[in-house]
Chain A
Amino acid sequence: MLPTDFDAQSDLDTVHHMMAQGRMAAAIDGIHLINWGLTIVLILLIQYFAEARDWLPSSLLWLWQPLVSIGVIISLFLGRRSPYRRWGNEASRTYVTAFAGAGFTLGLYLIASGLGGRPDQFTLVLLSSGLLGFSFLVTGFAIQMPRLQFATLGWWITFAFFCFRGKLVLNDFFILSGAFALFMIVPGLFLTLRRKQLADLVS
């Protein structure tokens, strides 16, 4: 076939359009982060009022165990569609590995320490904030979204704050629920917005 038999510019247009479609299809939508963030904020607030107003006994581990179980089930259900389905995509793979790794570590801590009594909440806060900071760091690099690093910074400041303080007080449930709202729900919204922008570009 001679090169003049096809239109190079038209082929390039096809390439640009299809590459944009591919970017959009592979974009992480942040729904997991929003769902997890909302659930954890709700549980932290319930726990605060339960302990502050003496609504429930202080041993509230039972609240966290169903939370983790329900969260894992919902994540697996959502994961059948995206982004687990796109395991071949490097950015999706990094996102899933980072957050699933963090979730697995926290779950293991809850189960293992729960067997010997109530898990130490202070350790749990340090583990969560450190691991979430790391997860956002690698995800931000993988999907080339620098503004996601504000969540990394936020979680590591939270981590440093509690390391410096060395203990938890009741009002910290409020601080933590604010941290989850700012550094988990907001990044989730950013990702969802970004996916929508990519979709608009395609259409």
Chain B
Amino acid sequence: MSNAKYRYKDIDDLLTGRLRLAIMAFLMTAEKSDFSEILKITEATKGNLGAQIQRLEEAKYISVKKGYLGKRSHMSVNITKRGRAAFYEHLETLQRMVNGEPKL
């Protein structure tokens, strides 16, 4: 068994939300997306998705750019370096938990 200790502080509260985690995981590989694509893939409601995107943006995990594509409003979403680092860290924590290392 590994000597690595599991600490609850390692858990990123922002990424424990399933929808926020899903958005971040999608952006890790897509790198850039937009509101309508994420809405379609996550099958979330517009209001909830908007709120979760805003929380991730406030934490500087993603950057959001609002504009127009033709006549329609368009919101593009990019993952940031900070978001990428936080995601990797959270992923490692999840893997440590699943691998059965000491908890608390």
Contacts and interface: CB of A to CB of B under 8 A. Distances in A.
- At the interface, is chain B mostly helix, strand, loop or mixed? helix
Contacts of A23: 29-30
A36 to B, nearest CB: 25
Interface residues of A, number: 29
Interface residues of B, number: 31
Given A15-B21, A15-B25, A26-B31, A88 B78 contact: yes
B98 A88 contact: no
Interface of A: 1-6, 8-9, 11-12, 14-23, 25-26, 80, 85-90
Interface of B: 6, 8, 11, 13, 16, 18, 21-23, 25-34, 37, 41, 69, 76, 78, 91, 94-95, 97-98, 103-104
13 contacts: A12-B94, A15-B91, A15-B94, A16-B25, A19-B29, A20-B29, A22-B29, A25-B30, A26-B29, A86-B31, A86-B32, A87-B32, A89-B32
